Amino acid sequence: MSSQPEPVLRTRGLTVRYGGVTANDAVDLEVHRGQVVGLIGPNGAGKTTYVDAVTGFARSTGEVWLAGRRIDRLPAHRRRRAGLARTWQAGELFDDLSVAENLAVVAQGGGLRGLAADVFRRRADRSPRDPVLDDLELTDEAARRPDALSLGRQKLVGVARALAGESHVLLLDEPAAGLDTHESLAFGEEVRRMAGRGSGVLLIDHDMNLVLGTCDLIYVLDFGQVIACGTPDEVRHDPAVVAAYLGAEVAP
Amino acid sequence: MTVLEMRGVTAGYGSAAAVRDLDLTVAAGEVVALLGPNGAGKTTTLKTAIGLIRPRAGEVRALGRVVDRRVDRTTRHGVVLVPDTRAIFSGLSVRDNLRLAARRGGPRWDSALERLPRLAPLVDRRVGLLSGGEQQMLALAKALLCRPKVLLVDELSLGLAPVAVKELLPVVRGLADDLGVGVLLVEQHVDLALGVSDRGVVLHHGRTALEASAAELLADRDAVHRAYFGADERND
Amino acid sequence: MDQLVLFVSLGFTVGAVYAVIGSSLVAIHSATGVLNFAQGSVALWGVWVAAELGTTGTLVLPVGELQLTDGPATIPVTVALGVISSTVLALLLHLLVLRPLRAAPALSQVAASVGVMLLVASLVPLRFDVTTTVARPILADSSVTILGAEVAVANLVMLGLAVGVALLLAGYLRFTRWGTATRASAEDEVAVLLTGYSPDRLAAVVWLVTGAATGLIAVVGSPSIGLDPLAYTFYVLPGLAAALVARLRSVLVACAAGLAIGSFQSVLLLLSTYDFWPVWAQAGFGDTVPFLVVVVALFVNGKSLPERGGVVSGRMPAVHPPTMRALPALLTLAGVLAAILLTEGSWRFGVVTSVIMALIALSLVVLTGYLGQISLAAMAFAGTGGFLLSRVTTEWGIPFPLSLLVPALGATVLGVVVGIPALRIRGAHLAVVTLAGALAIQNFVFGNPALTPYEGNLIADPTLGGLDLGVREGTNLTTIRFAFMVVVVVGALTWLTARLLSGRTGRAFLAVRSNERAAAAAGINVAATKLLGFGISAFLAGVGGCLIGYSRGQLSVESFSILVGLALLCTVYVAGITSLTGALLAGLLAPLGVAETFLESSLGLGEYYNLIAALALVVTAVLNPVGITGSVRAAITHARSRRQQHVLAA
């Protein structure tokens, strides 16, 4: 055993191919408990594909380990139950359920057990309220439908849904897109708090203020490959990263 | 001569407007780079310019006509959009894609190959089998055949290596110089975009934050740099 | 050998109709992304217009008619006007119904085209004299000898026509610019717009051509196939099967598959005359062919079927889970009991039937409204329940409450089996499977003399602890004891279902309906949830079928015919498919329920029932997809907010 504790999320050689295109090329990445790790890169670099592959929504090869357990053969819903939560770029909320119910879906058991619970439950269980709503200051919106909220609040509900229930790792796919500067700052603090509770967080976002200001470690993806990995300061001054973003020539 | 004119345009999906009170003009033979961070409203501006999104306020005029919701007619009149999804058909061959775009009485479908000769050996291949750069080349070729007078280009560089973009952007410049096409170019590779543009417009939160000649913007790169990496340099 | 050749060629006539419908469905799907369930109805209308002209010289329009000639019109005139009628119907279908629904969810599109299907099917017997009209021969009555068999030239002409139509369509789609643009629009409509073409106009061309082709093949084939007020309507199923075999892409493959299905059905007829062929497979077996083809085609091709890009899909009507308040429930119950006590004879029978139909409607609300799975087979599940009830009561002697449970569990098993394809396919494709399955069950099980005796399936009256709960007593058509038993059973199941829908189960259903990906990401087992929904839905329908059985004393094919099922779907959709209240209201409006009794007894307009239901469905699907309950709710909400504004202003 090394002195470094085992990462809570680790991928080894994760590769995704669509037709002839390699969207993720042997991505090795580690997230430790209490850590906020950033994943950045230009549009089309394969960041969302990476999240899809890890969570079971894109066919991939390579290994995915969650808290010491190999999960790359599990279907998506079992990966979630194993403690791997994610948000979506487009929110993907359940528009027919209230905000509180959007969260309740996660915590509940479904299937025949849920059926039995419905038949024999008491009246009080019917409108469950997750404490996460209070943490994210969504209490007032609990009874409303997602499509009645502003885009920023919808994004926050998506994050709340990922936080509901137990999870080891949170994958946040562009959670701050659509937030204004103030909301974005507050959101950064929230992300730090999530990590403070002992989860590992992987943060994807275009808002460089948020990513550089929040993350402990940043991976940079371009054309499906990790081209850099380091602290915010290292990444910010890495010529390959600047080139990937601005398309400028890399100084020889 | 102004070929595209947007006056006080406010537009966007859902409750929040992505573009607010925008004024923008493009003259014939001019290339204008539309820059700004993600979510600044660049794509919405292009879609509104061709009528895919109806402005909530303000007016869009192209080639002297008010742009309405009949996108197919606007396209036939010569306002052509190359969207970030490229508007090519992956199930059809390159030849069929080009034939669709060729107009009756216009240039033949294979005339587009003169400006983009690298497509010539690929005409019988199914588009789904082309590389990203080749697909983008086809998207441009298809737009050429539509005989554009106004060309709107969204993120030519999406998923492409800078090298591939450097091959495509001069084609756009050539259209403006040789045929007098007015071009509105959305691009995330700032330096490359300004290299072929006459003017640059930087959008921020749906409004014009900065507008200057391409030479001036290239000289003051920090301004553009800040737009991408955030306004406050709190770590420096 | 010569027998085989003969029967294969005999199958060409009907196979040619399947083939052209299949080719048309592929082309229409390319152009619009819609699976048109009413393509068989396009054929049906043309056939009857032509036959009427050929018999009396009258051009029948949906409303009104023109006397063109004294006595029969000439063959060219009958064929031409038949084809034109089909073409106009197809264009109207495009312009008035499916084009306004282009961005609507699959449920609205399916509901609308099923509505048109039922509309035409119910219009034909009203507008045409279905007893005396005949289809005069159009093709020469001669034959040639092929491989030792006497093959009628007419069959070969049909084969040639079908292949010709398919070649023409394929040529248009492949070699012309508009055709290429049509194929391109299947991939991305916005991109087609940005290339300078109007997808609407491209679609109109396809509707026109396919409408004409479908009319032509049906009119020319009708003298051999025969006139039937219904059959052509369901030729859309083999057509859909052929189109799915062609993966909704190749017109030519669809044509070949259609011809093959026709010939195969014909060969099955030949086989059924041999001694080795089992008795149970002699009748209705041919109707299982399209179903089996559909299931296999969807399983093999499921993932590779084209899904349309470009236009944003509209939302399903919103759902408001039951609030489980006691007062409205008690008021409803009191209303129903009062209706039972205050009526007698056919009216009370109508009330009881409405209560039973509300239960079957509830099964649709659960499966389609809450879970978003489009099923056209609710009546087949009900029929399975009733069919098993007959066995359970007359042969196995199982006593009353259990006699409901056992058949309902049987229906549940069938429901879960039918639900398995739903794990791989969704939307309109699922509607195809369920409709094909329902037709197969109707003709192969309920209509099969080997499985269902001619006198119908007799059912013994229910008794509970010596108390006779039978529906009839002397001249009393519907006893109060029976009516109360129905109310207790339906009330209890409705209450249980409301508990499920307002709890975890309903939440999981709605999550799956809203967004399957996000549901999986929230830890929901999407596959298990869907199967659970199919199971619950089939259970409710199965109990409903048993109650129908008890209320009739015996069951036959007609009791659970597909038309009754589709009419019920109409009423549920019109009433509001996403709410419990909608199910109750649908019960009132349902076939043989209070509304039909009213039309029949009070207005003498019973024959218009299906027509009205179908028209209401089409109008609802196009103009008011939230249904009656949805718009009432919206009106109440609106009024409340206005009142609040007044209060604030005061």
CATH number at residue A71: 3.40.50.300
A196: its two tokens: 């403070």
* pTM of model > 0.80: yes
Q: Is residue C531 scored above 90 in pLDDT? A: yes
Residue among B75, B91, B103 minimizing CB distance to C194: B75
Neighbours of chain B (3+ CB pairs under 8 A): A, C
Domain membership flag for residue B70: yes
Share of chain C above pLDDT 90, in %: 30
Which residue range forms the structural domain that includes residue B19? 2-88+148-229
Distance, in Å, from the CA atom of C541 to the CA atom of C264, rounded to the nearest integer, reads 33
Domain membership flag for residue B223: yes
Domain membership flag for residue A203: yes
How many angstroms away from the CA of C370 is the closest CA of chain A?
Answer: 10
**How many structural domains are present in chain C?**
2
**Domain end point (choices C271, C304, C337):** C304
Q: What residue in C sits closest to A163 (Cα-Cα)?
A: C522
pLDDT number for residue B204: 80
How many angstroms away from the CA of A163 is the closest CA of chain B?
Answer: 26
Domain membership flag for residue A3: no
Q: How confident is the model at residue C81 (pLDDT cuts 50, 70, 90)?
A: very high
pLDDT number for residue C315: 63
CA-based radius of gyration for chain C: 25
Condensed to tens digits (0 to 9), the pLDDT of residues B26-45 reads 999 999 999 887 677 888 99
Condensed to tens digits (0 to 9), the pLDDT of residues C181-193 reads 999 988 888 999 9
**Domain end point (choices C240, C273, C304):** C304
Same domain, C387 and C497: yes
pLDDT number for residue C493: 94
Domain membership flag for residue C167: yes
Which residue range forms the structural domain that includes residue C104? 2-304
Give yes or no for C312 touching A (CB within 8 A). no
Domain membership flag for residue B66: yes
Residue among A223, A232, A246 minimizing CB distance to B191: A246
Condensed to tens digits (0 to 9), the pLDDT of residues C119-158 reads 999 999 998 888 887 788 887 778 888 877 788 888 899 9
What CA–CA distances, in Å, run from B66 to A173, C51, C456? 39, 53, 70
**How many structural domains are present in chain B?**
1
Which residue range forms the structural domain that includes residue A124? 9-246
What CA–CA distances, in Å, run from A226 to A27, A218, A222? 6, 10, 7
Domain membership flag for residue B107: no
Domain membership flag for residue C645: no
Would the CB atoms of C195 and B103 count as touching at under 8 Å? no
**How many structural domains are present in chain A?**
1
Residue among B50, B90, B103 minimizing CB distance to C187: B90
Domain membership flag for residue B198: yes
pLDDT number for residue C418: 83
Would the CB atoms of B235 and A212 count as touching at under 8 Å? yes
Instruction: Point out the residues of chain A with pLDDT beneath 70.
Output: 1-4, 19-20, 107, 109-110, 122-129, 178-181, 245-252
Domain membership flag for residue C649: no
Domain membership flag for residue A171: yes
Would the CB atoms of B87 and C195 count as touching at under 8 Å? yes
Mean pLDDT of C214-230: 90
Would the CB atoms of A94 and C515 count as touching at under 8 Å? yes
Would the CB atoms of A247 and B232 count as touching at under 8 Å? no
Same domain, C390 and C469: yes
Higher pLDDT, B146 or B190: B146
Average pLDDT, chain C: 86
Domain membership flag for residue B111: no
A57 neighbourhood in chain C, CB within 8 Å: 517, 520-521
Q: What residue in C sits closest to B95 (Cα-Cα)?
A: C180
Same domain, C291 and C398: no
B187: its two tokens: 């691009």
Domain membership flag for residue A4: no
Same domain, C291 and C336: no
Would the CB atoms of C520 and A75 count as touching at under 8 Å? yes
Mean pLDDT of C595-609: 81
Condensed to tens digits (0 to 9), the pLDDT of residues B209-236 reads 888 899 888 888 777 766 655 543 333 3
* CATH assignment at residue C419: 1.10.3470
| DSSP for chain B, written as a single string | -EEEEEEEEEE-SSSS-SEEEEEEEEETT-EEEEE-STTSSHHHHHHHHHTSS--SEEEEEETTEE--S-HHHHHHHTEEEE-TTTT--TTSBHHHHHHHHPPTTS--GGGGGGT-GGGGGGTTSBGGGS-HHHHHHHHHHHHHHT--SEEEEE-TTTT--HHHHHHHHHHHHHHHHHH--EEEEE-S-HHHHHHH-SEEEEEETTEEEEEEEHHHHHHTHHHHHHHHH-S--TT-
How many angstroms away from the CA of C426 is the closest CA of chain B?
Answer: 23
Same domain, C40 and C108: yes
* CATH assignment at residue B216: 3.40.50.300
Q: What residue in A sits closest to C504 (Cα-Cα)?
A: A114
Domain membership flag for residue C648: no
Same domain, C541 and C501: yes
pLDDT number for residue A122: 58
Domain membership flag for residue C563: yes
B80 neighbourhood in chain C, CB within 8 Å: 194
Give yes or no for C307 touching B (CB within 8 A). no
For chains A and C, CB pairs below 8 A equal 103
B158 neighbourhood in chain A, CB within 8 Å: 43-44
pLDDT number for residue B12: 80
Q: Is residue B156 scored above 60 in pLDDT? A: yes
pLDDT number for residue B40: 79
